């Protein structure tokens, strides 16, 4: 079964996440950060992964702890749900345009955490959201999800469009990489860990 849930409680955040890797993209998201909710909702929709996220965070400080901790919990749960990764495609690439913006994501569900994030335009505010938190989220997902991620904004000017293209390209690449297409582990070593 490639569905499950987990919780994480610290002095800064209380997070509960459910995921179904074989879902249809249904979502219910409440982080207290409107723009981040929007990004997680479109992630679910475009990846085909069912996602429920509930967060109580120290938003009186700022959104950093909530965003990073959601990435930690999502990454851990993703790693757990993939198990030995038997039969998954492992690799995927996605290019996503969003009006004037083009983003590319390349993923390897390698078992080795690595995040190359070349999205230099993500600085400043998108409404009340700190745009640099997009990178914090993806670094946490990679570190705890044990995956290699290369994301690049090839060009773009509107911060909302840049962030949305990044989340959508990640969603499509991840959705493809975790699909089951066989019955063996795609590695000459015989394991992905």
Q: Check if the beta carbon of residue 171 is closer than 8 Å to that of residue 64.
A: no
- Residue 16 within any structural domain of the chain: yes
**pLDDT: which is higher, 84 or 165:** 165
Measuring CA to CA, which residue among 67, 84, 169 is closest to residue 118? 169
Any domain includes 166? yes
In angstroms, how far is CA 36 from the centroid of its own chain?
A: 11
183 belongs to a structural domain: no
DSSP state of 180: B
What are the φ and ψ backbone dihedral angles of 15, each rounded to 5 degrees? Answer: -130, 135
Tell me the per-residue pLDDT of 24-61, one tens digit each, with 9 for 90 and over. 999 999 999 999 999 999 999 999 999 999 999 999 99
Q: Does residue 185 form part of some domain?
A: no
Q: Which residue is associated with the tokens 């679910």?
A: 44
- Does the residue 189 lie in any domain? no
d(CA 40, CA 178): 18
* Residue 147 and residue 81 in contact, taking contact as beta carbons nearer than 8 Å: no
Q: How many domains, the chain?
A: 1
In a domain? residue 27: yes
Could you count the other beta carbons within 10 Å of the beta carbon of residue 14?
Answer: 15
Residues 56, 33 contacting (CB under 8 angstroms)? no
CATH code, domain carrying 109: 3.30.230.40
Residue count (the chain): 193
Residue 41 lies in a domain: yes
Mean pLDDT of the chain: 95
Residue pair 55/30 in contact by the 8 Å Cβ criterion: yes
pTM (2 decimals)? 0.95
Tokens coding 74: 């999502």
CA–CA gap between residue 33 and residue 17 (Å, rounded): 16
**Tens of pLDDT along 109-164?**
999 999 999 998 899 999 999 999 999 999 999 999 999 999 999 999 999 999 99
**pLDDT number for residue 101:** 97
Nearest to 9 by CA among 54, 75, 59: 54
Strand partners, 80: none
Task: For residue 112, give its domain range.
Answer: 3-177
């Amino acid at each position: 079964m490639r569905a499950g849930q987990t919780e994480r409680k610290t002095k800064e955040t209380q997070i509960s996440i459910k995921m179904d890797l074989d879902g249809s993209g249904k979502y219910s998201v409440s982080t207290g950060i409107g723009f981040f909710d929007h990004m997680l909702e479109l992630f679910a929709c475009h990846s085909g992964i069912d996602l429920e996220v509930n967060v109580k965070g120290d938003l009186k400080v700022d959104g950093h702890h909530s965003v990073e901790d959601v990435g930690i919990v999502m990454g851990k749960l993703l790693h757990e749900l993939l198990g030995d990764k038997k039969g998954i495609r492992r690799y995927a690439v996605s290019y996503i345009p969003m009006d004037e913006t083009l983003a590319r994501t390349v993923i390897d569900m390698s078992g080795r955490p690595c995040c190359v994030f070349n999205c230099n335009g993500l600085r400043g505010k998108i409404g009340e959201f700190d745009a640099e938190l997009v990178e914090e989220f993806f670094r946490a997902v990679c570190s705890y999800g044990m995956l290699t991620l290369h994301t690049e904004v090839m060009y773009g000017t509107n911060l909302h469009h840049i962030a949305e293209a990044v989340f959508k390209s990640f969603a499509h690449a991840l959705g493809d990489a975790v699909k089951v297409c066989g019955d063996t582990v795609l590695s000459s070593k015989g394991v992905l860990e």
